[in-house]
């Protein structure tokens, strides 16, 4: 596998975290348990599922291939888990370790699913009366390896 494919995958992961951070930051206290238009999952269970997906991605890339559906904790705990799982996966991708799965499959499975759920959280925030700000993501300062809660503020909010 080429270094450029790994680099692009790391940038994709950083993009997931950048966009996910917007849905987590400054969420109202009652958002985690909000019943948004009769959705089958609360925002908290969606966030927990994203953590499950990132854990699963790491397990497949490292050769463990283990799915675990964690019991959702608090919003703060699941937010921390989101960042920790992203960092763990990014650390593996940044290393020289061989990956035990194809990056294409890793993208089309857990990462694409996680991106979908980040969009779901953004939509739930809007429906719950606490929308995230729109921005020009093309100009966003997103960098491979930046997968923690401290993200660069938007360059241009729309």
The domain segmentation of the chain, as residue ranges, is: 3-139
User: In 3-state terms, the chain is what percent helix, strand and coil (to 5)?
Assistant: 55, 0, 40
What CATH architecture does domain 3-139 belong to? Up-down Bundle (1.20)
Q: The whole model's pTM is what?
A: 0.94
Residue 137, pLDDT above cutoff 60: yes
**Mean pLDDT on 135-157:** 92
Residue 94, pLDDT above cutoff 90: yes
* Residue 40: per-residue pLDDT: 81
- C-beta contacts of 149-152 below 8 A and 24+ residues apart: 149/21, 149/24, 149/25, 149/79, 149/83, 151/17, 151/18, 151/21
**Mean pLDDT on 105-126:** 96
Which of 25, 12, 22 minimizes the C-alpha distance to 135?
22
Which of 60, 61, 78, 63 minimizes the C-alpha distance to 117?
78
* Local confidence band at 35 (pLDDT 50, 70, 90 cut-offs): confident
């Amino acid at each position: 596998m080429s270094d450029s494919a790994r680099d692009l995958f790391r940038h994709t992961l950083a993009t997931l975290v950048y966009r996910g951070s917007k849905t987590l930051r400054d969420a109202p206290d009652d958002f985690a348990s909000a019943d948004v238009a009769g959705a089958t999952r609360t925002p908290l269970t969606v966030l927990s599922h994203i953590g499950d997906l990132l854990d699963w991605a790491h397990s497949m890339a490292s050769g463990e291939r283990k799915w675990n559906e964690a019991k959702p904790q608090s919003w703060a705990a699941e937010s921390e888990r989101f960042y920790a799982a992203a960092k763990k996966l990014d650390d593996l991708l940044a290393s020289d370790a061989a990956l035990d799965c194809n990056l294409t499959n890793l993208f089309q499975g857990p990462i694409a699913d996680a991106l979908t759920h980040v969009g779901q959280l953004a939509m739930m925030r809007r429906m719950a009366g606490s929308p995230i700000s729109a921005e020009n993501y093309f100009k966003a300062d997103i960098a491979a390896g930046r997968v923690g809660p401290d993200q660069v503020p938007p360059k241009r909010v729309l």
